[in-house]
Every structure is written in C-alpha cells, then in structure tokens.
Structure 1
Amino acid sequence: MIYNILFNDVIPIFVVMALGYAGAKCHSFTPDQTQGLNKVVLNFALPAALFASITRASRDMIFDDLKLTVISALGVTVLFLVAFFICWKVWRHTISEAAVCALIAGSPTIGFLGFAVLDPIYGATTATGLVIAIVAIVVNAVTIPIGFYLLNLGLPKSETGSGSLGAIINAVKQPVVWSPVFAVVLVLCGLKLPEAFYPSFELIAKANSGVAVFAAGLALATVPFGISAEIIWNTVFRLFLSPLAICIAGALWGMETESLSMLVMACCMPPAFSGIIISSRYNIYVKDGASSLALSTLAFAAAAPFWVWATPKIAGLL
C-alpha cells in the first residue's frame, strides 16, 4: 500500500511540480504566461471538472447514507472555517490570506487523488464512489464559494464593490463558484445529463490537475521554499487533525467502520489544488501555500497508512 501511494500518488505530483519549477527557473514562462495558465485552470478547466464530476452523482446517492452526508458536510465545512480563523487570528494574516489558507489547509484534493487512493485500499466499489462523491460535492460546492466570498471580503473595496454585498457579487460571478453550485442544484432536482454530454467537458477538465500542479511549481519558483511553524501546522492540520475530528465524529455517531475509514482517508489527503491555483492567480499566500502543498504531499505517504491502521482502533475505543 505504501508503495502504491508513493509511486502512484506522491511522486507524480512532485515530478510535475518540479517541471513547473524548472520551467520558471529557465525563464520559459513570463509572469503573464503564468497568470494565463492560472486563468485557464480557474475559469475553464476547474469549473468544467467540478461540473462534470458533481452532475454524475444522483439525488439518491446524497440521501442514501445520511450519516455520511451530514458528517461530511458539517465536518469539512467546520474544519475549513477552523483553518480560516486560525490563520487569521493566530498567524495574523489578512482575511484574504486566511481564506486562501483555508482553501489549502482546510480542503482535501479529493477530486484528483480520491479514486487513486481509495480504490486500491478498499476496492473499486459503490461505497468508495459514494464517499468520494459526497466529499467532493462539499469541498467544491460549499467550501470554494465560502473561500471566494472571504477572499473578496478582504480585498480593497475598489476591487469588489461595497463591503459584504460586493464580495458576494464578485464571488458569485466566478465560474469556479457558480459552476459547482449549479451542478448541485441539478442533482438535487433529479436532473441527469446524457452521457454524450460529458466528453466535451472532460476534454478540458483533464487539464485541471496536471496544469494546477505545474502552476504550483511555477509559483514555488517565485518565492523561497521554507519550513516554518505555520507550514508545519498547516500540514498537521490537513493530514492528522482534520481526519481525527472526522473519525471521532463518525465513531460517536455509530458509522460503520469501513465506511468511516474511507471517509477519514478522503479527508486526510493533501491540500486541494484549487487553493493553490487561487493563491497564484491572486498572488495571495503564495509562499506559504506552495510550501504547505509540498510538505503535505510528502507527509501523505506516512499519513495514509497511519489512518488505515488508526481508524478502526479509534472507532473501537469510542
């Protein structure tokens, strides 16, 4: 299992990130070109990927396992807000910086690594697909809109309009916000899109993860990589404290052990790449965000087998 996680999940991320880093150091990309890549991901590839993945879910899927849905929705959202407030109040960042930090430290990259990690461990079953779908909906349709609202709330009023209302309007206009929300509305209304619809979206969606990690390498080349107390905290919060909170909540509510183990694994993944793209696009929290991604991805090789072992132990105690 450690071999699979290392060579199938961790190393590819570092290889693509290293290519981006090398491209920046060789001056193959100008700052404008880097921003262009970020716009491609943020305005086109990521919204398409979110819309396609969410609309493949069904209304029955959301309500079949209410414990899973409720714990995922409340747990991921609350942990996202905890990451925001700690970055804002403890580490003394601005509201916009704390919002980007929460999109990184408070959100797992479930869309990119979900099936790659869960299927080899638990099998490619309906249960693993359900866990991945539910967590992906929460991350993409709840925390990203909240993060964008908080990011815009912290920007100068000249950029967003008037206070909270301007921040809401500016956030809603972003494709990465309205696309997953619209997709969830379709799912809740029971509307299914024909399969012939998806290839057109998936062609651009496939560029999402690779370009996002490549752009993270470009961003990392513009700032000195460093390890600080905050970077370590972000890593520990993402890989250990967040899944621990989910594990305790699920165990106390009596979730079935294997389902709980899959949910914990889904919530202990490295930071969502969407947060890195947003960081680079707005030039906010770039150094700490890229460093948190690098350290968390490396530490994930140890965190994944730990939670496979620890979740049944914790559930048994509770």
Structure 2
Amino acid sequence: YAAIYFICTKVFKKSPQDAAVLTLTVALPNYAALGLPILSSVLGDAPSTSLSVAVSIACGSVLMTPFCLLILEREKARLSGENQGSSLTLLPVLMWRSVKKPIVWAPLLGVILSAIGIKMPEIFLASIKPLGLSATASALFLTGVILSARKLKINGPVLLSCVAKNLIQPFIAWGLVLAFGLSGQVAVTAILMIALSAGFFGIVFGNRFGVQSPDAEASLLISSVLCIVTLPLFISLTAALH
C-alpha cells in the first residue's frame, strides 16, 4: 500500500485523492466477489474456506480502508477550507467510521462466533444462504456498472498497478509462505487470496467523495482480465503445497 501510494504521488505526480483510490484498488484484492468461489473450487466447501474469506475481508477493511478514508477526508477538508486538525487526529474517528460499516463488523462478528464455537441454527443458515449466493453476482454487477461508464486509458500507473497486483503481490505471499514454513490449506489460501484481481472498494469510496480515478478503474478492468491467466498459474504452482 505504502509503496504504490508513494510512487503515484512522488513519481507520477498524482493528487493524494487519486493516489489513495488507486492504491486501495491495488492493495485490497477482490475478496468479496472472487474469494469464496475460487477457494471453494480449489479447496472445497469446507467451513474454514468461508472463514478465510471472512478474515481476509475483515482485515482488509479494518487495516487498509481507513488509510484511504483518511486521505479522502483530509483532502476534502483542505479543499473546503475547513480546519479538521492533523491526520493523526482524524485517524481514530475514521477508524470508528470504518468499524461501524457492516462490511467490517459483520465478518468480524462471524469470526468471533466461529472462534468460540457458536453455530447458527440450520434453518437460519438455510434461509440466508440465497443471500450469500447472490453477493458474488451483485459485487460483479457493481464492478461492471462502474467500469461501463468510463473510457479505458493505459499509462504508467495502470501498468505498474496491474503488475504489482497480479504478479508482485502473489510472489511476496509465496515468499512469506516459504519463510514461515507453511504448507497445506493455509499456505494455498494465503497465496490464492492475494493472487485475486484488484478490488473495487477504492473506486466505490472515491465515488462517494466525488473522486473519479480513471487509473484505478483501468487497473481494475485490466487486472480482472489478466487474472484469467495469472490466477490459474498460481493455482498450479500451489499444487505442490497441498
């Protein structure tokens, strides 16, 4: 996250708002739309598969989303002439705003309930399962709606973002797996979750603040197309870790 943001602002001279949206798009993979279907097809429908996706979404939302919101709020206040204090002063407020969002507390709640052994009644699970199945299609539909209104432009930041997302990040995850001596389902999950294409949270947050980032939108589209090639590559490479 820090490396992409620094390069975008210092090398490519992008505005902080545009860089923040692009950075979150690259740093936070498309867990919501692709995480569960990909892991289920590779590892099966084990309960730990859903738990891995929930933990990934929760960690990404709590750890990375506030940085993007912090920059967007700071620049919004600066442009409007409001005195909102320093960035460090805003951070606790933005963290709380992030935690209050259902996409943050719902996965966290699920992780906590799973960790302490509380199971939902079968009739309740059966009633909400259709909603869960529709979430993937809804996320993909939202991504398509956002991208359909933009004209694709390829430049330096877009190329850097796609290479970082589809190749550099998964190989970093691979190196961490080897460094910690992981194997089996944990190792495969760690690599494949990072090998997913770019996520759409950054673009959604940007639209809420009136920030449109053509580079982020192009990176999302191209990364999703490249994922057709790169994701099977990493699925094949992780076969030795089972």
Give the TM-score normalised by the residue count of structure 2.
Answer: 0.78
> Does the 8 A contact of 1:96 with 1:153 survive in 2?
no
Q: Give the superposed CA RMSD.
A: 3.2
> For 1:118 and 1:181, how far apart are their aligned partners in 2?
21
Tell whether the 8 Å contact from 1:100 to 1:275 is kept in structure 2 after alignment: yes
Say yes or no: does 1:278 pair with 2:205: yes
CA contact (8 A) 2:206 2:212 kept: yes
**Could you list the runs of 5+ residues in structure 2 that have no partner in the other structure?**
none
Q: Does 1:162 align with 2:116?
A: no
TM-aligned CA distance change 1:282 to 1:215, over 3 Å: farther
Is 1:259 the counterpart of 2:186? The answer is yes
CA distance in structure 2 between the aligned counterparts of 1:100 and 1:237, rounded to whole angstroms: 15
Cα distance, 1:188–1:84 mapped onto 2, change above 3 Å = farther
Residue 155 of structure 2 corresponds to residue 238 of structure 1: no
Which residue in 2 is equivalent to 1:305?
Answer: 232
- How many angstroms apart in 2 are the aligned matches of 1:257 and 1:194? 28
Deviation string 1:130-177 (CA, Å, 9 cap, x unpaired) is 332222221122211222123223334336723326643663574x55
3-state DSSP class of the match of 2:154?
A: coil
Q: Which residue of 2 aligns with 1:85?
A: 6
Q: Is the 8 A contact 2:72 2:209 kept in 1?
A: no
Matches within 5 A, 1:132-281: 132-157=53-78, 158=80, 161-164=84-87, 167-168=90-91, 171-172=94-95, 174=97, 177-179=99-101, 180-183=103-106, 184=108, 187-188=111-112, 199=128, 202=131, 206=135, 208-220=138-150, 224-281=151-208
Gap runs ≥5 in structure 1:
1-79
Instruction: Judge conservation of contact 2:154–2:218 (CA < 8 Å) in 1.
Output: yes
Cα distance between partner residues in 2 of 1:99 and 1:257: 35
User: 1:66 — aligned with what?
Assistant: none
**Letter of the structure 2 residue corresponding to residue 129 of structure 1:** S
The count of aligned residue pairs is 229
Paired letter, 1:213: T
SS in 1 for 2:196: coil
Partner Cα distance (1:148, 1:177) in 2: 12
Deviation string 1:254-313 (CA, Å, 9 cap, x unpaired) is 111443122211111111122221233334252111111110010000011111223467
Question: Structure 1 residues 154, 258: CA separation in 2 closer, same or farther (over 3 Å shift)?
Answer: same
CA distance in 1, matches of 2:20, 2:120: 36
Secondary structure of the corresponding residue to residue 108 of structure 1? coil
Superimposed CA distance per residue, residues 80-118 of structure 1 (whole angstroms, 9 cap, x where no aligned partner)? 333323322332222222221121011101111112112
Separation (CA, whole Å) in 2 of partners of 1:169 and 1:125 = 36
When normalised by structure 1's length, the TM-score is 0.61
- The answer as to 2:38 corresponding to 1:117 is yes
6, 10, 17: which one pairs with 1:96? Answer: 17
Same amino acid, percent of matched pairs: 19
